[in-house]
Amino acid sequence: MAKASSKKKAEEKKPEYIHVTFNRPRQYSWSTGRYLGHFYAEAKENKRIVGNRCPKCKDIWLPPTPVCPKCKVDMGWDWAELPQTGEVYQYTYLVMPLWDPHYGEKWANPYPSAIILLDNGVFYRHRLEETDKDKLRAGIRVQAVWKEDYEERGHGMADILYFKTIDEQEAKRCLQ
Amino acid sequence: MTERVGILAVGQTKYCPNRADVSEEELAYEAIKQVLEATGLTLSDIDSAVTCSQDFWDGRTISSMNIQHVVGAHLSHEDKVTEDGINAVYCAMGQILSGHQDIVLVVAHTKESQAEKSLIENAAFDPALMRQLGLDFTSAAAMQAKRYMYKYGITSEQCAKVAVKNRANAKNNPLAQEPMDITIEDVLSSKMLSSPIRLLDAKPTSDGACAMILAPEAKAKKITRKPVWILGASNCYETHYLGDRDLADCDALTKAAQKAYSMAGIKNPLRQIDVAEISEEYTYQELLWMEGLGFCNRGEAGKLIDRGVTKMGGKLPVNPSGGVLSGNPTGVAGMTRVAEAVLQLRGEGSDRQVEGAQVALAHGVTGICGQLQAVMILGNS
């Protein structure tokens, strides 16, 4: 009896943590501005991925920037269309459900988010179509898959649904 | 101060209600380009950048990542201040005086148009004990205005005179957002926001950016013919919870001013200061802050505006630029005051120039009812 009562006492002493919770979201609306705006327009109108080119080092930056981070000079207005194929440089496999902050919907999980090395040597970041983690490795060749309906485009990077695996033979070689 | 720090150049965007045409980065870059052109420096010459922006306003954690490229902070030094740009100028001064940095770029940006002002201001209040009252800065300022007017007999007409003066001054400032020809009657009949504060008693929503380059004395003299020196600078906080301080007085400002004055050797501010740029987000604040700055005794600022002391051509012109009331974004507004003071001391104030200005005061404020006060004294000789 004595034992049971001391156990009960211990339970009663368990501290209660009080939380203050807020559920009201704060709304934002970001202007893309001239540079990112051009990237958005090319995606919507022409299904192109574009970056801008530094007048000094000739490097291409994606997202486009007004100033070359390396040379620290004004980029001017020199644009380059980027290839839509490349290889997976690295990826992370997402299994935690996360909200899409733009639309408030939960992404279907699991899925990989990847850094993609486009065929001209510029990096891009996107989701991969392949969700089977046994079929994923760095080095797999991938290609952008666009939203075909013009009316559905206009959301920048989201105008590309994902990058799909191409060249299955090479993919298999990577996996070996 | 043992060594002097000079401001080499200032740049400001035009202040606008909604710069939907640019990103925050492009907005900041507009101001940065001006100071690079004025000094002949490039971003590679910058040793350190001190930026001012606020995560809640920018809608992202670490808001300075937004503008990393345009401040030259790739593989380079950058610090962020999140109160007002005037505090960023203070930090830049400290970096230079420490001997660690030479040429420092200071940049403040805010796009108030991109977020919900009231909700962001509400988030500045204590989450457990204050937010639920639904206050924003305007409704809190209304309490301060009422208390101040009650304690010292300041009238709505005297407050309205501040709006009439500053909006008219703004007509001489091509960067001002809302220059206006208005009368006291116009102010007193404008839409009530939160009694006694009416629409024309308050600053409008604003987007803009401000940039500066600072350097130690020897370098400053090499780079520009007209450096402006920081003679004194200080800031002071007071309590957050409303009611813990008498809102009719501003002890934090008095303390900040006293320290800045003692650094700059100012004993009689009304006599020794030629022009003042004061952060008045609401009309009553210009009067209240003048008292805190020691331009008159407590409760007597109404008489100064009645006598025309603070108008252009008066003994101490206050806000020749048009002030915050004519439209500056929060976070940038105090730095804009420093920029305007610099223009005055360089004789580059064009139509808003106070003739022969040699010593200027810039004042910045952050938070609820002037919780954080910052004072900077600048001179040209």
Asked if A116 and A126 sit in the same domain, the reply is yes
Asked if A107 and A153 sit in the same domain, the reply is yes
pLDDT tens for each residue of A32-87: 999 999 999 999 999 999 999 999 999 999 999 999 999 999 999 999 999 999 99
Start-to-end CA distance of chain B, whole Å, equals 15
What is the 8-class DSSP label of residue B16?
A: B
Question: Is the bond preceding B196 in cis, omega lying within 30 degrees of 0?
Answer: yes
Q: Which residue has the tokens 């994902």?
A: A162
Q: Under an 8 A CB cutoff, do B59 and A30 touch? A: yes
- Minimum Cα–Cα distance from A61: chain B residue: B69
The CA-based angle B308-B313-B316, given to 5 degrees, is 65
Of B26, B70, B111, the CB nearest to A34: B26
Of A28, A32, A34, the CB nearest to B115: A28
Selected residue with higher pLDDT from A21 and B332: B332
- Minimum Cα–Cα distance from A70: chain B residue: B74
Query: With contacts defined as CB-CB under 8 Å, which chain A residues touch B69?
Result: 65-69
Q: Under an 8 A CB cutoff, do B22 and A66 touch? A: no
Q: Where are the domains of chain B?
A: 5-116+205-223
Q: Under an 8 A CB cutoff, do B127 and A35 touch? A: no
Of A20, A26, A66, the CB nearest to B25: A66
Looking at the predicted structure, is the pLDDT value of residue A107 above 80? Answer: no
Cα separation, B31 vs B329, in Å, equals 14
Residue A7: inside a domain: no
What is the 8-class DSSP label of residue B362?
A: E
Q: What is the mean pLDDT of residues A111-130?
A: 95
CATH number, domain containing residue A111: 2.40.50
Cα separation, A61 vs A114, in Å, equals 18
Asked if A122 and A42 sit in the same domain, the reply is no
The residues, ordered by sequence, that sit 6+ positions from B9 with a Cβ below 8 Å of its Cβ are B34, B35, B38, B39, B212, B213, B224
- Minimum Cα–Cα distance from B207: chain A residue: A31
Cα separation, B328 vs B336, in Å, equals 8
The residues, ordered by sequence, that sit 6+ positions from A173 with a Cβ below 8 Å of its Cβ are none
Query: With contacts defined as CB-CB under 8 Å, which chain A residues touch B33?
Result: 74
Q: What is the mean pLDDT of residues B263-281?
A: 98
Q: Under an 8 A CB cutoff, do A70 and B19 touch? A: no
Q: Under an 8 A CB cutoff, do B29 and A27 touch? A: no
Range of the domain at A45: 31-82
Mean pLDDT for all residues in chain B: 97
Question: Is the bond preceding A112 in cis, omega lying within 30 degrees of 0?
Answer: no
Asked if A123 and A166 sit in the same domain, the reply is yes
Asked if A151 and A78 sit in the same domain, the reply is no
Residue A9: inside a domain: no
Q: Is B59 on the interface with A (CB under 8 A)?
A: yes
Looking at the predicted structure, is the pLDDT value of residue A173 above 70? Answer: no
Q: Is B26 on the interface with A (CB under 8 A)?
A: yes
pLDDT tens for each residue of B166-203: 999 999 999 999 999 999 999 999 999 999 999 999 99
Under the banding of pLDDT at 50, 70 and 90, the label for residue A176 is low
What is the 8-class DSSP label of residue A30?
A: -
Q: What DSSP element (H or E) covers A39?
A: helix A33-46
In chain B, residues 118-177 whose CB comes closer than 8 Å to chain A: 119-120, 123, 127-128, 131
Q: Under an 8 A CB cutoff, do B22 and A36 touch? A: no
Asked if A38 and A108 sit in the same domain, the reply is no
Give the model's pLDDT for residue A1: 47
The 3 state secondary structure assigned to B227-287 is CEEEEEEEEEECCCCCCCCCCCCCHHHHHHHHHHHHHHCCCCHHHHCCEEECCCCEHHHHH
Give the model's pLDDT for residue A170: 64
Q: What is the mean pLDDT of residues A17-45?
A: 89
Q: Which of B18, B26, B117 to mutate to test the interface with A (most CBs of A within 10 A)?
A: B26
The whole-angstrom distance between A176's CA and the closest CA on chain B is 38
Among A82, A103, A123, identify where a domain stops. Answer: A82
Cα separation, A41 vs B55, in Å, equals 28
CATH superfamily for domain B5-116+205-223? Thiolase/Chalcone synthase (3.40.47.10)
Asked if A70 and A131 sit in the same domain, the reply is no
CA of A52: how far to CAs of A87, A123, B298, B328, in Å? 21, 13, 58, 32
What is the 8-class DSSP label of residue B318?
A: B
Cα separation, A62 vs B185, in Å, equals 54
The residues, ordered by sequence, that sit 6+ positions from B98 with a Cβ below 8 Å of its Cβ are none
Give the model's pLDDT for residue B91: 98
How many Cβ atoms from other residues are within 10 Å of residue B8's Cβ? 24
SS3 B359: strand
Cα separation, B248 vs B231, in Å, equals 29
Asked if A90 and A135 sit in the same domain, the reply is yes
Q: Is B61 on the interface with A (CB under 8 A)?
A: no
Q: What is the mean pLDDT of residues A149-168?
A: 93
Asked if A77 and A88 sit in the same domain, the reply is no
Q: Is B115 on the interface with A (CB under 8 A)?
A: yes
Q: What is the mean pLDDT of residues A104-109?
A: 78
Looking at the predicted structure, is the pLDDT value of residue B238 above 70? Answer: yes
Under the banding of pLDDT at 50, 70 and 90, the label for residue A174 is low
Looking at the predicted structure, is the pLDDT value of residue B343 above 50? Answer: yes
Percent over 90 (pLDDT), chain A: 66
Mean pLDDT for all residues in chain A: 88
Give the least confident one: A46-50, A104-108, A150-154, B219-223: A104-108
